[in-house]
Structure formats: structure tokens, C-alpha cells
Amino acid sequence: MKILLLYPEFPDTFWSFKHALKFIDKKAGTPPLGLLTIAAMLPHGWEKRLVDVNIHPLQDSDLEWADWVMISAMVVQRDSAHELIERAKNAGKIVIAGGPLFSTEYESFPLVDHFVLNEGEITLPQFMMDYHLGSLKRVYTSDEHPDLEKTPAPLWELADLKQYATMSIQFSRGCPFNCDFCNITVMLGHRPRTKSAKQLISELDGLYQLGWREPVFIVDDNFIGNKKILKEEVLPALIEWRKGKVGVPFNTEVSINLSDDGELMEMMVQAGFNEVFVGIETPNEESLVECSKKQNQNRDLVQSVKRIQRAGMEVQGGFIVGFDSDTESIFEKQANFIMKSGITTAMIGLLQAPTGTRLYDRMKKEGRLLGEMTGDNGDGSTNIIPRLDLAVLKRGHQRLISYLYTPKAYYQRAKSFLQTVQPPKVQIYMDWNYIRALFRSIISLGIQGVERVEYWKLFFWALFKKPRIFPQAITLAIYGHHFRTLAEQLFKEKLPDLFALE
């Protein structure tokens, strides 16, 4: 059998970093981890080919070669998935689909022959058994959660690694918390399931042996869901693995209670973690209660962020406006919080209700659903009817984004963060791509860019005051270019950056 593994296009979004990737000659942020893992579960004698259309276009010859087309996607890739499936069917191919998009919306894809949904370690063997018996069904689904210690390492060799900025691996699935807008626990459960430290090290060894020296994103939705195994097994193993290695800094997603555990933060920094994404959501306590974000309640969120930064990790933040408890003052409150905390990478979206969540069920019961969500957390869209007037909400969101990514506001946060953070234990691997990126930033941002005054202020401050964080300073400047370009494309018009900030 010849299997074509197909990954749809990502639109230009907050996390695509398309405008930043050009500086380092990369075409995409991360490879399709799910497809590469599924590929490892297929019979060893089968031929496999990956086409990630973010890297290379799908050719007719790819479809002619294939017996089956297996496609996976996230919600934000919906439009591209429809196009690729139609093209595969027009070529007469059997199409098999799985992944987050299809697990929630499979009924919207009538052209797909078979759906292998939920966690592939359970449903793919069922599909393969029926294939060998000649009795394939259309839909394979399961509520069972597999033991990740039996999950094979991804087939990295199928991917064109040099085209990606970051590699992604997975250590755990599931989250112990119960935020009512989040579908992670719906799909993956509350009990964090983990791979063994040995598995994680083996996957890293595989990447390192392939020559990978750049960042690795550990894609867990909450890396610290099981602190005990981290402290006793995983982080000590990562610290030991790092000895004698060059490059390979880590980033991941955590909950804000990381800031309460000094030992855990120190171990993560020693293991090579430079960045963590935290779902902060809102400084409005009533809204945190409303959405059951218990881990964020009754704490000084700014100080929690600062503790993580002082430990040596950048905090990237997720924020939401449009909770029922929000008033028109929420936009100024969010601006104040983000500026005070020094969070440069601040993803701010309108509240959305993913299928299957408690929020979705409540909105449906109240007659407040507006259809399907786009899957883009930063595009200013929502699939619910908010308590705030929708026009006021959209205008406030637009104004907030436009303000935060003005050069003055963005570079102020960047310097605030860099003044706080300790120099990273693991520096970015400085190959020619990053040297070229420095010179491109000088031309695009320092000479031609609207931010040139702020760019040079940060450039010389970092170079002479904190030279060990100079690469981070340039990286943040390039990120700022991406966010600002995206905001300008999204909103089209310039808005005054008027907030009565404290």
C-alpha cells in the first residue's frame, strides 16, 4: 500500500508566524506531529509520503502515486481541508480523515470515505483490523484514552525538517482543570497521561541525530499537569540529556500555578525551557469565576507572570474578551495588565464556544450560538451572542490589538520583559539562517520599518546592557513585525492608541 499523508494549509494567523518565518528562510512553524505519529503506527512494509502544503504544494503526481489519502487538520485549517479532500476524490482516491477538525465536524465532510477519530492509538487498530477483514465502516470513534507509553515515535524522516522553525513532540495528554470554554478535557480527559522519560529522551535523540539544533515545542496542553513525574523522572532526565548538547531550547504550555513552585521553575530552566504559553484569559475576577478558571483566581496575576519571567522563561499569554461578566472597561483593563506584565506575545480573542464544551452546551440552551467557530483565536470572530453589544465588543477588541502592537507599546513590553528575565541557559543555535535574520531585521525593521526608532533603542540597549539576551531581543523585534503586519491586514484601518493606562 502507498499512503499519502496530507496536511492542509494554515491561514495567516497569530501563531502561523508567516511574516516572521521569512527572516529565517523557513516555510512553516512546526510539522504535522499527529500525521507523523499515525505514520509510525501503519504497517512497516507500506510506503508513506508526507505532503504538508504549507511547505510544498500537492502535485497531481502525489495523488497518482497514492492508494489512500490520509488527512488530518485543526479547525483553523477547515477551508484548505475541504479543497484537498475534493481534489483527492476527483482523482479517485480513498480518503481517510482524523484529527481535531474531523472529531468535532465529521458530518460536514461528506466526501470522506472513512473517519478515524479521537485518539489514533485506539481507533486506528480498529480500522486496520476491519481493513484486513474486508469490512470497513465509515466512522471509527472511541471514548477510551490510551496508554501513551505504547505510542511510537513520529516518523521524522518523512518531513523536510529544514523547512520548519520548530520541531514538536508530545509528552502528555489531558489536563486536570475544567475551564468551561476549553475542549481539551472533552477530547483528552482530565487525568494527565504521560510518556515515560525514556520515550521522551529517545524522541529527542532521534531529532538530534538528524541534525536538529533549533527549538523544540513540547505540545502538551498543560505540561505541568503531573508535577510528580516531572520532578522525579522527566526533568532530571532532560537535564542529564542536555549535557554536551548544543542548542535545542524547549517551549511548552503550562497553567499559571507554575509560578507557585520555585523548584519546578528552576528545574525547567535547567532542562532548557525558555518560553511557556499560559492561558491567563482575563484580569477580571468575575469572568474567571464565570468560566471556572480556578487556577487563575484569587492571585496577583501580574506577579505570577513576573515570577516565571524572573526564573528565566518568557511568558506568552492567551487572553479573552467577551465573557458575560465583562463590561466596556475590559479593554482598558486588559491593556493595563498586558503592559504591566511585560507579555510581548499576547494572543487576544473574542470568547468562542468549541463543540462539546460546557460553554457550548450553555450557549445552545440559551439560544446564543451563532454557528461554527473559525478556529482562529485572534481574528476577532465569535460563534456566540455576547452580553456586550457585538459591535462594541468587536470595536474594543480591534482597538486593543491595534494599541498593543504599535511599535511604542510593543517595544516597551519587550524591554520590560528583557529587564526582568534571566539570560537563558540554552541559547538559540546561531546558524547562518539566524545571522541572515539579524541583517534582514536591520534592513526591514531598523531602516525601512515604521518601528525603526524603537528597534534601534532596543538593539543598542540589549547589545550593551544585556548582551546574553541580545538574540532574544532581535527575535522579539521580528515577532513584533509579524503581529503588527497581521493586525494591519486584519483590521485594515488605523485606530488611535488611546487608553488611559495606569
Taking 60 as the threshold, does the pLDDT of residue 498 lie above it?
no
With respect to residue 493, please indicate whether it lies within any of the assigned structural domains.
Answer: no
With respect to residue 473, please indicate whether it lies within any of the assigned structural domains.
Answer: no
Let me know whether 134 and 212 are in one domain.
no
Helix (H, G, I), strand (E, B) or coil at 154: coil
With respect to residue 74, please indicate whether it lies within any of the assigned structural domains.
Answer: yes
Let me know whether 385 and 295 are in one domain.
yes
| pLDDT per residue as tens digits for the range 272-313 | 999 999 999 999 999 999 999 999 999 999 999 999 999 999
DSSP 431: -
Alpha helix segments (H runs only) across 466-502: 470-491
Let me know whether 179 and 110 are in one domain.
no
| pLDDT per residue as tens digits for the range 232-269 | 999 999 999 999 899 999 999 999 999 999 999 999 99
- What total of structural domains would you count in the chain? 2
The pLDDT of residue 499 is 53
| pLDDT per residue as tens digits for the range 9-58 | 999 999 899 999 999 999 999 999 999 999 999 999 999 999 999 999 99
Last residue of a domain, one of 418, 451, 479: 418
Residues 6+ apart with CB under 8 A from 341: 301, 302, 305, 306, 315, 317
Integer CA distances (angstroms), 90 to 60, 61, 85, 500, in order:
11, 14, 9, 57
Let me know whether 80 and 208 are in one domain.
no
Let me know whether 237 and 175 are in one domain.
yes
| pLDDT per residue as tens digits for the range 146-180 | 999 999 999 999 999 999 999 999 999 999 999 99
Work out the average pLDDT over 214-218: 96
For residue 323, give the CATH number of its domain.
3.20.20.70
478: pLDDT confidence band, cut at 50, 70 and 90? very high
Last residue of a domain, one of 401, 418, 435: 418
Let me know whether 127 and 179 are in one domain.
no
Give helix 452-465 / helix 407-420 axis angle, nearest 10°. 10
Let me know whether 134 and 215 are in one domain.
no
Work out the average pLDDT over 411-440: 89
Let me know whether 209 and 256 are in one domain.
yes
Work out the average pLDDT over 219-230: 96
Let me know whether 276 and 409 are in one domain.
yes
Let me know whether 323 and 282 are in one domain.
yes
Let me know whether 388 and 305 are in one domain.
yes
Taking 80 as the threshold, does the pLDDT of residue 492 lie above it?
no
With respect to residue 431, please indicate whether it lies within any of the assigned structural domains.
Answer: no
Let me know whether 252 and 343 are in one domain.
yes
Integer CA distances (angstroms), 191 to 148, 229, 256, 360, in order:
12, 13, 18, 22
Whole-model pTM: value is 0.94
For residue 74, give the CATH number of its domain.
3.40.50.280
Taking 70 as the threshold, does the pLDDT of residue 366 lie above it?
yes
The pLDDT of residue 493 is 54
Residue 14 sits in which domain range?
A: 2-140
Cα separation, 313 vs 311, in Å, equals 6
The pLDDT of residue 430 is 72
With respect to residue 21, please indicate whether it lies within any of the assigned structural domains.
Answer: yes
Last residue of a domain, one of 398, 418, 438: 418
Mean pLDDT for all residues in the chain: 94
With respect to residue 398, please indicate whether it lies within any of the assigned structural domains.
Answer: yes
With respect to residue 494, please indicate whether it lies within any of the assigned structural domains.
Answer: no
| pLDDT per residue as tens digits for the range 184-202 | 888 999 899 999 999 999 9
